[in-house]
Amino acid sequence: MSNVTLKEVSELITKGTTPSSVGCEFVSEGINFIKSESISDSKYLNNVIFEHIDEETDRKLKRSRINEGDLLFSIAGAYLGKIAIAKASDVPANTNQAVGIVRLKKDKVNVDYVYYYFSQNNINAYINKLSSQSSQPNLNLDLLGKLEFELKSIKDQQKIASVLSSLDSKIELNNRINAELEAMAKTLYDYWFVQFDFPDKNGKPYKTSGGKMVWNEELKREVPEGWEVKLLDKEIEIQRGISYTSKEINGDGIPMISLNSFNLDGTYKSEGIKTYSGKFAQKNILKSGDLLIAATDVTRNADIIGRAILVPDYYKEDLVFSMDIAKIISKNIPSSFLMMLFNSNHYHNYIKWYASGTIVLHLNLDGVNRYIIEMPPLNLLKMFDEVYSPIANRVYNTAKENQKLTELRDWLLPMLMNGQVKVSEL
Residue 142's pLDDT is 87
Residue 376's pLDDT is 94
What b-and-e string marks burial along 264-273, b requiring 16 or more CB atoms within 10 Å of the CB? bebbbbeeeb
Residue 338's pLDDT is 95
Residue 83's pLDDT is 92
The alpha-helical segments, DSSP class H, found in 147-289 are: 154-193
Burial group, residue 421, by CB count within 10 angstroms (0-12, 13-18, 19+): middle
Which residues, in sequence order, are CB contacts of 72 under 8 Å at separation 6+? 34, 39, 45, 66, 83, 84, 85, 86, 95, 99, 100, 101, 102
Residue 300's pLDDT is 67
Residue 76's pLDDT is 81
Stretch (H or E) spanning 231: strand 228-231
Tens of pLDDT, residue by residue over 316-345, are 778 999 999 999 999 999 999 999 999 998
DSSP 144-173: HHH-EEEE--HHHHHHHHHHHHHHHHHHHH
Task: Let me know: does 144 contact 100? Beta carbons within 8 Å.
Answer: yes
Q: CB-hemisphere CA count at 13 Å for 176? A: 7
Residue 134's pLDDT is 54
Which residues, in sequence order, are CB contacts of 328 under 8 Å at separation 6+? 236, 237, 238, 291, 292, 293, 308, 335, 338, 342, 368
Task: Let me know: does 45 contact 90? Beta carbons within 8 Å.
Answer: yes
Taking the C-alpha atoms of residue 91 and residue 66, their distance in angstroms, rounded to an integer, is 7
Mean pLDDT of the chain: 88
Stretch (H or E) spanning 286: strand 285-286
pTM over 0.75: yes
**Taking the CB of residue 206, how many other CB atoms lie within 10 A of it?**
21
Residue 48's pLDDT is 65
Domain map of the chain by residue range?
2-151, 228-375
Residue at 175: amino acid letter? N
Which residues, in sequence order, are CB contacts of 41 under 8 Å at separation 6+? 82, 269, 271
Residue 253's pLDDT is 85
Residue 229's pLDDT is 92
Residue 291's pLDDT is 94
Low-confidence ranges of the chain (pLDDT < 50): none
Q: Given this structure, which CATH class describes domain 2-151?
A: alpha beta
Residue 326's pLDDT is 94
Task: Let me know: does 49 contact 38? Beta carbons within 8 Å.
Answer: yes
- Domain at 228-375: CATH code: 3.90.220.20
228-375 shares the fold of 2-151: yes
Tens of pLDDT, residue by residue over 279-302, are 888 888 998 889 999 999 887 678
